[in-house]
Structure 1
Amino acid sequence: MSGGWLRRTAILLLMGLVTALPAYADGPGPEFKHLTDETFTSPDGQVRVEQYWMERDNDVLHQFWIFDPKHHGFLLNRGEGADLAGYRAGFRFSSDSRWLVRMQKLGAGYQTLLLYRRDGYRFSPATAKPLGDMAWDYFFSQPVSRKIHRKSRDRRSLNHKQVNLLEGMDDNYAWTGKRWPDSRYIVLSLSFDSQGERKPLPWIDGRRCVFDTKTGQFSIPSDFAGHNAKAVQFPDRRRR
């Protein structure tokens, strides 16, 4: 994800759309179209996320708006670069409505996650960079990653990098059988492949980890060890 996700200058000035908006506004301008089938409401019913889009300069720009009970709008993705504004997103609230996860497509086969913390009716970034980037940082700090490089020797990036939110955030991941503190943990899975490589790289298919919203740290519960052992594959290059 080049350039970071909190760039507030060059790209936004080029777009000429976001920087002129106040913190609170009625909503997007008339040039934006409402994605009526992409509205997400918090479990407490107090806030909702609506998505809008417009075509501009042969590209598409999306805006994500938080609305309070009085229908005051707050732009969620203020200050982001075009690499995060080009696609619609999915959203999930924690069961206590304090946290909001954004499942953001970045391109064909690419996805990341962003985490927001609630303050009143506003939501602000809960991490210094996308939660998906932090999950990859954690993965590459683990021993299993020693034979895996973020870029192949010819400098091509890993293909189809995805960080996904595992189902169960709304009921505190009851399927794990654990009695975790309410809305404290977020379970993620990481994947990438080596499609198109002449000499295949290792690949990952759904390796799981847990993010602790209280400490800001990642971990892997022992219950995930068996699944994770099968999630990392190393191709046998002797057959090629």
Structure 2
Amino acid sequence: MSGGWLGRTAILLLTALVTVVPASADSPGSELERLPDADHTFTSPDGQVRVEQYSKKKDEYDRVYQFWTFDGKHQNAALLNRDEDSDLAGYPAGFRFSRNSQWLVRMQKLGAGYHTLFLYRRTGDQFSPATPKPLGDMAWDYFFNQPLSRKMHRKSRDRDSLNHVQVHLVQGMDDNYAGMRKHWPDSRYIVLTLSFDSQGEDKPLPWIEDWRCVFDTKTGQFSIPTDFADHNAKAVEFPDRSRR
């Protein structure tokens, strides 16, 4: 009788433990390895949110990556790149928080000479995509609606004709670009640079290097401040056809 009683008690205790532990807690899981803190962990200015990066082997030579956010107590984990085509990136990323800790930019390498940006908006202690597609893609849409781009072909015969397509974040997001002598509203604007080349074509077209624009987080629109005009004029490069 005592053995049966102990058995029933053990079952009841185990059942109670199961009910207090979430059945499907959101977490990186044991198959993923956390990347070292010093280079791959980013904490918001208010100290309430942190981004950690995890990876696992894809095959013998390559690894894939996930990006997770946690609150200040290292709880409430959330997968940052959940809503993308794949929740596994091919490279680790860099991250920058806005000064007010409400916006997060992910600086993502896509391949050799290819780079884009993702923008996230904070709700509580988690972040979700702030734009319908990567911020880098939206920046290219904006560029190719500019008069400057009329001599540049984004696609050729239904294929991408641009090489080394890159969108980067200009340093200064954490202090509202004070170093650029800006006096913008706190954490409203994000400055980006765009670059590509098309020298591989039979008749090389102009290309750009470090062309700048600004994204307004309040309106979701891009613009080019007047004081960027001289810089952008110098960012356009023309092929030397005399060498051909």
Q: Does the pair score TM above 0.5?
A: yes
Matched to 1:169, the amino acid is M
Q: Among residues 211, 215, 232, which one is paired with 1:211 in the alignment?
A: 215
In structure 1, the residue matched to 2:31 is 31
Shift of 1:56: 2.4
Query: Deviation per CA, 1:170-223, whole angstroms, max 9, x where unpaired?
Result: 000002212100000000000011344443222110000000000000000011
CA offsets 1:23-56 (integer angstroms, 9 cap, x no match): x62x311221111130000000011000000012
Bigger shift: residues 31-40 or 208-217: 31-40
Structure 1 SS opposite 2:133? coil
- The one-letter amino acid of 2:63's match is V
If the length of structure 2 is used for normalisation, what is the TM-score?
A: 0.84
Match for residue 225 of structure 1?
229
Alpha-carbon distance in 2 for matches of 1:34, 1:196? 39
Residues 64 and 53 (structure 1), Cα distance of their counterparts in 2 relative to 1, 3 Å cut: same
Contact 1:50 1:65 (8 Å CA) reproduced: yes
- What TM-score comes out, normalization by structure 1 length? 0.85
Equivalent residues in 2 for 1:68-147, closer than 5 Å: 68-72=71-75, 73-82=77-86, 85-147=89-151
Quick check: which has more Rg, 1 or 2? Answer: 2
Spell out, residue by residue over 1:212-235, the C-alpha distance to the aligned partner (whole angstroms, 9 max, x if none): 000000000011000000101121
Residues 125-134 or 71-80, more deviating: 71-80
- In structure 2, the CA distance between the partners of 1:107 and 1:135, relative to structure 1 (3 Å rule), is same
59, 63, 68: which is aligned to 1:65? 68
**SS of 2:141 mapped into structure 1:** helix
Structure 1 residues 153 and 233 mapped into 2: Cα distance closer, same or farther (>3 Å)?
A: farther
Distance 1:133 1:141, change over 3 A: same
Contact 1:61 1:82 in 2 (8 A): no
Partner of 1:42 in structure 2?
Answer: 44
Give the letter aligned to residue 71 of structure 1. Answer: H
Residue 83 of structure 1: CA displacement?
A: 9.2
Distance 1:79-1:214 versus aligned 2 partners, 3 A rule: closer
Contact 2:176/2:182 (<8 A) preserved: no
Shift of 1:152: 3.7
What's 1:158 paired with? 162
Amino acid at match of 1:124: S
Q: Which residue of 1 aligns with 2:152?
A: 148
Structure number with the higher helix fraction is 2
Matched-pair contact (CA < 8 Å) for 1:34–1:53:
yes
| Partner Cα separation in structure 2 for residue 201 and residue 156 of structure 1 | 14
- 2:181 pairs with 177, 180, 183, which one? 177
- Structure 2: stretches of 5+ with no match in the other structure: 1-22
Structure 1 residues 114 and 98, CA, compared in 2 at 3 Å: closer, same or farther? same
Aligned to 1:17: none
Q: Counterpart in 1 of 2:9? A: none
Query: Matched residue of 1:133: which SS?
Result: helix
Report what 1:3 is aligned to.
Answer: none
**Corresponding residue pairs, total:** 218
| Pair 1:84–1:164, CA change in 2 (3 A) | farther
Q: CA RMSD in A?
A: 1.9
Structure 2: distance between partners of 1:142 and 1:157: 18
TM-superposed CA distance for 1:84, in Å, is 6.5
Measure how far apart 1:238 and its partner are: 4.6
Choose between structure 1 and 2 for higher RCO, CA contacts under 8 A separated by at least 6 residues.
1
